[in-house]
């Protein structure tokens, strides 16, 4: 059972329960070669904290002593490892050395018999150079074998490996067919050659297309990915599990893994590493070490690089800043930068999972930052949900100091009195003055020295917006007429514009009906509550400048805007609990608005469209039908409050 506890981009921080043991994801499983045993599994568990590992059932089965021992005492005792053990099936050996003499049923049964926690089908490794026909045919075989494995698995969990070479449609289709099978983990296979050849942009296509078809209630394992440099990006794309054979293989070849690449001991100029393995050693000492001790030290160093980066990935994920880390890491190698740039082509897919807001500020790290889903969402929403208060605009350049209405206070006022709407050309595109306190606009930091690519694009987007929104003209700040006399209420304009942006135009109309009273913070003067015809319908959050929806507001929206807009419909059984303020769990959801995003305000209703609570979405609409466990909506207030 896999439960999501935190999310960012497409990344999930989760708890994966396997036979009563919990693996916290994202997690990396070190590969243990039972014949070599570079670092004993017990140490991997206790000293390095790896709560799961992967070993190879094919090697065990083909080595008589190991085979007998494993069958006799079981895999956990043989390896002396108390954590979760995943086994691979021999597929990778067939990729390396050609056909293996093995049948799917035999190896699945063997994995079951030695007591592995998570076994693997004998899938067919789809090579990147294969034709589409060849790939499609082999996927059929893999799917057939997967079905057989599901029938045989008993209490063992099973890996259903998504294959498809570099063909995105085949990947998606293979994943979708596996989504309805009784498998437990979705590894994405056939990617090792792409990583070995630094074809990271194709890796992005492969992961993103596989993710489109996958069953979201299962962890996704990126088979063969274990270099620290790829972990942030792969986690961002929604991979939960990784494995590394490299830590030991590289160690035997005297190669040290670092966050920016892998380096030969013979090429290194100094050992500038402070990991527990390297600390206190010099490069010369290490080079002169006896082979076995040297291999051991380098393997430990490699593992520490992995655990260190994984800890960082988790921290950034927890803070909602994983994009920043991935962008940083992708500058280690041009091929990784390609991957980041390719990810922009999947921006719309990423946007479906990306949370509506986060706690900290967004950092712009370069033109690639505009590939983040937040940028696309903002442009889509101002295109569909923005209503200009006047039909003439004043175009202001981006400036330091946010919200823009602070440094530009006088100019904005002068523009508005003259009947113009102030619009700032920001790296997000056009920012109308009414929206400037809202996430992500005020909660973002850009360098004061702009780059040409973003400058040009921001201008293009602004002019596109001006014409689409129906502005009849635009002037520069210097051209604003003096002594305008038009009256305006900046707070009311803001309050309405944010409501339209967040809930859509018809819902905002229902919320801003009749007499409107805005309650402001005594300390900051900012909008706190919106009272409409005496009813408290909305509260504005100080942090992200977005609204929380009150029960009175929810009722208005349900009356005015047809379902499924903003609705999450729950089963009758759940209604009393939800009305009482309890959270909505995935298994109780009947249906929901497919346009909802994580952290978005939602209205929980019963089957007859009666609102029973308001809250914030935690899962995505496409995850909910798959999830057997976990919170779908964090409920704030129920109708019984």
Residue 278 binds which entry of ligand GUN, Zn ion, none, with Cβ cut-offs from 5 to 8 Å by kind? Zn ion
Look up tokens 């590939």; give the residue: 371
Provide, rounded to whole angstroms, the least separation between the CB of residue 226 and Zn ion. 16
Whichever of 131 and 476 has its CB closer to ligand GUN, that residue is 131
| Residue 195 vs 469, nearer CB to ligand GUN | 195
For ligand GUN, the binding residues in 371-430 under the rule CB under 6 A are: none
Decide: is 596 part of the binding site for Zn ion (CB under 5 A): no
By CB under 5 A, tell whether 415 contacts Zn ion: no
**Neighbour tally for 49: CB within 10 Å:** 12
Which C-beta is closer to Zn ion: that of 298 or that of 596? 298
CA atoms of 255 and 223, how far apart (whole Å): 21
Among 186, 221, 301, 500, binds Zn ion (CB under 5 A): 301
What is d(CA 111, CA 103) in angstroms, rounded to the nearest whole number? Answer: 13
The verdict on 92 binding ligand GUN (CB under 6 A) reads yes
Distance, in Å, from the CA atom of 633 to the CA atom of 621, rounded to the nearest integer, reads 11
Q: Which of residues 244-283 bind ligand GUN (CB under 6 A)?
A: none
The verdict on 273 binding Zn ion (CB under 5 A) reads yes
Tokens of 199: 């074809």
Pick 125 or 420: Cβ nearer ligand GUN: 125
Burial class, 565, CB count within 10 angstroms (exposed 0-12 / middle 13-18 / buried 19+):
middle
Identify what 275 binds: ligand GUN, Zn ion, none; CB under 5 to 8 Å per kind. Answer: Zn ion
Burial of 152 (0-12, 13-18, 19+ CB in 10 A): middle
Q: Which is nearer to ligand GUN, 223 or 465 (CB)?
A: 223
Minimum CB distance to ligand GUN, residue 74 (Å): 22
Please provide the size of the chain in residues: 641
Q: Which does 223 bind (CB under 5 to 8 A by kind): ligand GUN, Zn ion, none?
A: ligand GUN
Query: Toward Zn ion, which CB reaches closer, 166 or 306?
Result: 306
Residue 355 interacting entry, from Zn ion, ligand GUN, none, C-beta within 5 to 8 Å by type:
none
Pick from 38, 57, 89, 142 the residue near ligand GUN by CB under 6 A: 89
Q: Which does 89 bind (CB under 5 to 8 A by kind): Zn ion, ligand GUN, none?
A: ligand GUN
The residue among 146, 152, 216, 212 whose CA lies nearest residue 181 is: 146
Nearer to ligand GUN, 91 or 583 (CB): 91
Least separation in angstroms between residue 153's CB and Zn ion is 40
Nearer to ligand GUN, 192 or 602 (CB): 192
Q: Which residue has the tokens 């057939």?
A: 144
Phi and psi, residue 562, nearest 5°? -60, 150
User: Is 268 near Zn ion (CB under 5 A)?
Assistant: no
C-alpha to C-alpha distance for 36 and 463, rounded to whole angstroms: 64
Is 88 catalytic? The answer is yes
**Quick check: helix, strand or coil at residue 19?**
coil
As a whole number of angstroms, the distance between CA 561 and CA 628 comes to 30
Q: 471 and 358 in contact (C-beta within 8 Å)?
A: no
User: For residues 303 and 48, is the Cβ–Cβ distance under 8 A?
Assistant: yes
For the bound state, the minimum distance from the C-beta of residue 125 to ligand GUN, rounded and expressed in Å, comes to 5
Q: How far is the CB of 28 from Zn ion (least distance, A)?
A: 17
Among the listed ranges 20-28, 94-102, 278-286, 540-548, the one in contact with Zn ion (CB under 5 A) is 278-286
CB of 124 to ligand GUN, least distance (A): 8
Examine residue 255 and tell whether it contacts Zn ion (CB under 5 A). Answer: no
Least Cα distance to 414 among 478, 479, 482, 471 occurs for: 482
Give the Å distances, CA to CA, from 66 to 59, 92, 410: 9, 19, 79
Please choose which of Zn ion, ligand GUN, none residue 247 contacts, taking the beta carbon within 5 to 8 angstroms, the exact cut-off set by kind: none
Q: Pick the catalytic residue from 8, 68, 80, 88.
A: 88
Integer Cα distance of 312 and 99 in angstroms: 40
Binding segment toward ligand GUN, per CB under 6 A, in 41-49, 119-127, 336-344, 369-377: 119-127
Q: Which does 91 bind (CB under 5 to 8 A by kind): ligand GUN, Zn ion, none?
A: ligand GUN
For position 278 contacting Zn ion by CB under 5 A, the verdict is yes
**Residue 210, binding choice from Zn ion, ligand GUN, none, Cβ under 5 to 8 Å by partner class:** none
Interface mask toward ligand GUN for 202-241; x: CB under 6 A: ---------------------xx-----------------
CB 429 within 8 A of CB 458: yes
Token pair belonging to 377: 């969402």
| Residue selected from 25, 87, 91, 235 as contacting ligand GUN according to rule CB under 6 A | 91
Question: How far is it, in rounded angstroms, from Cα 610 to Cα 199?
Answer: 52
| 413 bridge partner residues | none
Q: Which residue is nearest to ligand GUN (CB)?
A: 189
Distance of closest approach, residue 276 Cβ to Zn ion, in angstroms: 8
Written as six digits, the tokens of 583 are 């959270």
Taking CB within 5 to 8 Å according to partner kind, which of ligand GUN, Zn ion, none is near residue 4? none
- For residue 502, the surrounding DSSP H or E stretch is helix 490-503
Q: How far is the CB of 128 from ligand GUN (least distance, A)?
A: 11
Q: 3-class secondary structure for 582-634?
A: CCEEHHHEEEECCCCCCCCEEEEECCCCCEEEEEEECCCCCCCCCCCCCEEEE
Q: Which two tokens stand for residue 538?
A: 């909305």
What phi, psi does 83 have (nearest 5°)?
Answer: -85, -165
Cis peptide before 403 (omega within 30 of 0): yes
134-193 residues near ligand GUN, rule: CB under 6 A: 161, 189-190, 192
Closest separation in Å from C-beta 39 to ligand GUN: 20
Nearer to ligand GUN, 89 or 421 (CB): 89
Neighbours of 491 (CB within 10 A): 15
Nearer to Zn ion, 283 or 590 (CB): 283
The entry of Zn ion, ligand GUN, none that residue 273 binds, CB within 5 to 8 Å by partner kind = Zn ion
How far apart are the C-alpha atoms of 386 and 432, rounded to whole Å?
9
Which of the choices Zn ion, ligand GUN, none does residue 224 contact, using the CB cut-off of 5 to 8 A by kind? Answer: ligand GUN
For Zn ion, the closer of residues 247 and 585 by Cβ is: 247
Question: Residue for token digits 């499924």?
Answer: 564
Count the neighbouring beta carbons within 10 Å of the beta carbon of residue 169.
13
Cα–Cα dist 394/413, whole Å: 11
The dihedral sign for the CA sequence 468, 472, 478, 484: negative
Place of tokens 């919106």: 530
Report how many residues bind ligand GUN under the rule CB under 6 A: 13
Give catalytic residues, as residue numbers.
88
Residues near ligand GUN (CB under 6 A): 88-89, 91-92, 120, 123, 125, 161, 189-190, 192, 223-224
Residues near Zn ion (CB under 5 A): 273, 275, 278, 301
């Amino acid at each position: 059972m896999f439960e999501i506890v935190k999310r960012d981009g497409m990344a999930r921080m989760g708890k994966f329960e396997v036979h009563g043991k919990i693996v916290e994801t994202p997690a990396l499983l070190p590969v243990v070669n039972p014949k070599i045993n570079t670092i004993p599994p017990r140490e991997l568990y206790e000293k390095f904290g790896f709560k799961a590992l992967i070993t190879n059932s094919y090697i065990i089965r083909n080595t008589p002593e190991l085979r007998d021992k494993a069958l006799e005492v079981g895999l956990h005792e043989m390896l002396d490892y108390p954590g979760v053990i995943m086994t691979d099936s021999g597929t990778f050996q067939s990729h390396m050395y050609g056909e293996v003499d093995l049948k799917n049923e035999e190896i699945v049964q063997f994995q079951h018999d030695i007591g592995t926690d998570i076994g693997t089908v004998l899938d067919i490794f789809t090579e990147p150079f294969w034709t589409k026909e060849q790939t499609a045919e082999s996927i059929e075989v893999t799917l057939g074998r997967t079905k057989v494995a599901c029938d045989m698995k008993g209490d063992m969990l099973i890996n259903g490996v998504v294959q498809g070479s570099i063909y995105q449609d085949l990947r998606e289709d293979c994943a979708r067919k596996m989504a309805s099978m009784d498998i437990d983990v979705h590894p994405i296979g056939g990617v090792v050659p792409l990583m070995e050849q630094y074809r990271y942009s194709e890796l992005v296509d492969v992961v993103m297309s596989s993710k489109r078809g996958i069953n979201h209630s299962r962890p996704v394992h990126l088979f063969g990915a274990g270099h620290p440099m790829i972990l942030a990006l792969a986690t961002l794309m929604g991979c939960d599990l990784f494995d590394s054979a490299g830590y030991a293989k590289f160690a035997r070849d005297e190669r040290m893994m670092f966050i920016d690449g892998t380096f030969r001991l013979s090429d290194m100029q100094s050992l500038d590493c402070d990991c527990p393995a390297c600390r206190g050693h010099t490069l010369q000492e290490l080079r002169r070490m006896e082979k076995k001790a040297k291999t051991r030290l380098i393997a430990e160093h490699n593992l520490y690089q992995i655990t260190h980066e994984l800890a960082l990935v988790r921290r950034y994920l927890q803070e909602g800043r994983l994009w920043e880390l991935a962008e940083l890491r992708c500058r280690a190698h041009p091929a990784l930068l390609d991957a980041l740039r390719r990810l922009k082509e999947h921006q719309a897919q990423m946007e479906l999972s990306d949370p509506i807001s986060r706690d900290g500020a967004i950092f712009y790290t370069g033109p690639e930052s505009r590939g983040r889903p937040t940028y696309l969402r903002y442009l889509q929403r101002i295109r569909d949900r923005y209503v200009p208060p006047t039909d003439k605009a004043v175009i202001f350049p981006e400036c330091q100091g946010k919200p823009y209405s602070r440094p530009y206070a006088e100019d904005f006022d002068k523009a508005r009195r003259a009947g113009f709407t102030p619009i700032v050309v920001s790296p997000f595109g056009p920012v109308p003055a009414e929206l400037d306190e809202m996430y992500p606009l005020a909660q973002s930091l850009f360098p004061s020295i702009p780059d040409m690519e973003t400058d040009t694009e921001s201008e293009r987007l602004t002019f596109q917006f001006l014409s689409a929104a129906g502005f009849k003209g635009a002037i520069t700040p210097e051209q604003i007429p003096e002594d305008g006399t038009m009256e305006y209420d900046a707070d009311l304009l803001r309050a309405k514009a944010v409501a339209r942006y967040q809930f859509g135009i018809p819902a905002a109309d229902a919320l801003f009906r009749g007499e409107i009273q805005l309650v402001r913070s005594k300390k900051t003067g900012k909008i706190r509550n919106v009272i409409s015809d005496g009813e408290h319908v909305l509260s504005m959050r100080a942090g992200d400048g977005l609204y929380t929806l009150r029960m009175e507001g929810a009722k208005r929206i349900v009356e005015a805007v047809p379902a499924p807009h903003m609705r999450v419909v729950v089963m009758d059984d759940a209604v009393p609990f939800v009305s009482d303020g309890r959270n909505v769990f995935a298994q109780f959801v009947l249906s929901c608005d497919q346009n909802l995003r994580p952290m978005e305000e939602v209205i929980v209703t019963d089957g007859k469209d009666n609102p029973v609570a308001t809250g914030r979405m935690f899962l995505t609409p496409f995850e909910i039908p798959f999830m057997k466990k976990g919170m779908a909506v964090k409920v704030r207030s129920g109708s019984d409050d």
